[in-house]
Structure 1
Amino acid sequence: MVDDRLRTPDAVRDAQRWTAHNYHPLPVVISSAEGAWLTDVDGRRYLDFLAGYSALNFGHRHPRLIAAAHAQLDRLTLTSRAFVHDQFADFCRELAELCGKDLVLPMNTGAEAVETAIKVARKWGYRVKGVPDGQATIVVAEGNFHGRTTTIVGFSTDPDAHDDFGPYTPGFRIVPYGDLDALSAAIDDTTVAVLIEPIQGEQGVVVPPEGYLPGVRRVCTERDVLLLADEIQSGLGRTGDTFACDHEGVVPDMYLLGKALGGGIVPVSAVAADADVLGVLRPGQHGSTFGGNPLACAVGTEVVRLLATGEFQHRSTELGARLHAGLHELVGEGLVAVRGRGLWAGLDIDPALMTGRQACERLAERGVLAKDTHGSTIRLAPPLVVTEAEIDEALSRLAAVLAG
């Protein structure tokens, strides 16, 4: 029996009373989860079609990940990087091998991975490329979402993320996403990197035009500029390949990873690059108390081993085709457009019907949890352990919402 003190209205009220209002969550209070399913404090079950913004690619409480965490909790959880622990080398080596890179630098959150990439790119620009001190520039794209630190929001074009947090860090040039000519024109002798999402998640799962990413790779190589691929949401199996860049055969100079790397258990992020890039750092120049801690490495290593089998990439490809086929059948039946790749989709709902927020509220009433982005756009990102039957059920409930 559910404790009356935990009923949803009371729990929602208490959450609003004691926390800053930097989120506007749906009125659902989760108490347990497994696989692709969540259960609230009233015992109601929901299909999770957000998966923690791709942090739960392997579902809730994946047995292998939970086992790895339990085993490590009984041994060692934190040392700091002042010492070497026995999980560190395996994690870094196996992640580097997965990425095809020489070195890995572990941190905690996706935003930390982005900040790490910015620092490394600037230092590489000064020490290797020869950019005059203090003049390094980085090209970014409109509609980007790379995190919420003060540096990162300074080059966001989303007013909610950007406005009222200045003064902003200089050194960034913003160009339209998908416009190779504009990107090329923004590069000059001071440019050290292009920082880009292979697919823009927060913008509504926007896939760039075919040939764009290979074009960015070509321009970066020709102009001696680092290509930094933010695969924090798009990577680690989400799109049907290990990385979204893989779909067009693009190999960036640095992968920025996070979210799913922690298996939905602990925050883990990392950047992976070759020694001629990451090797510019020296002791004392960058770090983190919790970055690369034993618990994080134990879980992260098991994540890498799950990906090494190819099973989850295959599931994303096969089940993603089923998801997208079902969504495209709803275009003209309440949906205006569908975008995405693998088990990741952005849906534009007819704004005459409802907003994205209203759509998510109505989906929640029908037992499916999703997230709106902007206006009448919502995104779907079920865990890669979702089944065909669960996808069909979610599509049926979405169709019912659109039908009113």
Structure 2
Amino acid sequence: MIAEIISIGNELLGGETVNTNASFIAQKLSEVGVEVRWITTIGDDENEIFQSLEQAEKRADVIISTGGLGPTHDDITKNVFVRYFDAKLVFNAEILNKLRERFRQRNLPMSRCNEQQAYVPDKAKIVENEIGTAPGLLFEKGKKLFFVLPGVPVEMEQIVTDSIVPMLKEKQTTVILKRVIHTIGIPESTLFARLGDVEELEKTCKIAFLPQMGRVDIRLTATGADISQCEKKIIAVERVIEEKAGQFIWGYDDETLEKIVVDKLQQKNLRLAVVESGTEGIIISDLLKNSIADQNNIQGFVFSDLLQARDFFGMQFSRDEKKILNDATDVKQFSAKIAQNTGADLTLFVNFSRNENREAHIFLFDGKKLVKKKELYPIEVSVALQRLVTSVIGVLYQYLNK
């Protein structure tokens, strides 16, 4: 089945609200083999909503709209569906009683405008909303299914999970399976070229390249009659990718590189000391949030600048910051001093300068070998710091994965 999601609300077009509803619905539909091909976002305008329904009916089997079912003047979605299906609003006493009970349980007064939510189209089936006040609706036109859902995320999620997904799962005859392969250290264009004839591979399953900060994901999507058939397709293409680009693959699906790095440190019984200057502690924070409570092999020190870090660890070298960062002997001595004071096996020293070039220096020292990397991020500071984290985690991973 093919689906279209119609997200309704001026707040979505104005940028005040991020459209997380569409993302949630698309993911849930994909899990049961329903392919979402269009996501349409429109404002609170009756004619535009009507036209969107006309277009969706022509090209999709399942149409799901969210938003505009509340009790206020700008909640017009229900009225548009009444007009579209030539229906009438009829009073539903059961819905009114549930509304009153819900307000009573919350110890809140129920206004007269909420009573309007007890009027539902006579050509629609009620889809139970166990959390909020606006019931979901289902219209059927031939083999087409039109779901009308509230825009409040928690209410929408409950209806999709408890009602829509089970219903579509029964009707669906095909399965969709996805697999994400994570890579690092290779540009998207180079990775694409390494795989060879991608069009030939796509005869087995769809391939999407998803570049991120310093990393590239490859998403494989297979369709079939059952899970087993889809898995065979995924594995076939996955083996080709592993053969041609295996050295750049660090994980799959929900795995994170930070968690893999933390786990490798634990497995190798290595203690890591992280010293950061100018970064606001973003690196140690990223590592610690991926560790568990009883892991005590990572410690961090955060300083506003390099000279403050130097003084804290009792070093005597030059006060010229650039000279320190470009002198391998100074950096090794500094790293050795950190290891001596902390008992660490590995020292990671990162310095970030908030100058025009956003210059960053990364040093990883194991007592013998010094790994060093210099990068420039002439972009907004917050974005530069995120890219720096990606680069630092990559340096750690490549060292630990030897």
* TM-score normalized with structure 1 length: 0.28
More helix by share: 2
Q: Which has the higher strand share?
A: 2
Question: Which structure ranks higher in relative contact order (CA pairs < 8 Å, sequence separation ≥ 6)?
Answer: 1
- Give 1 or 2 for the bigger CA radius of gyration: 2
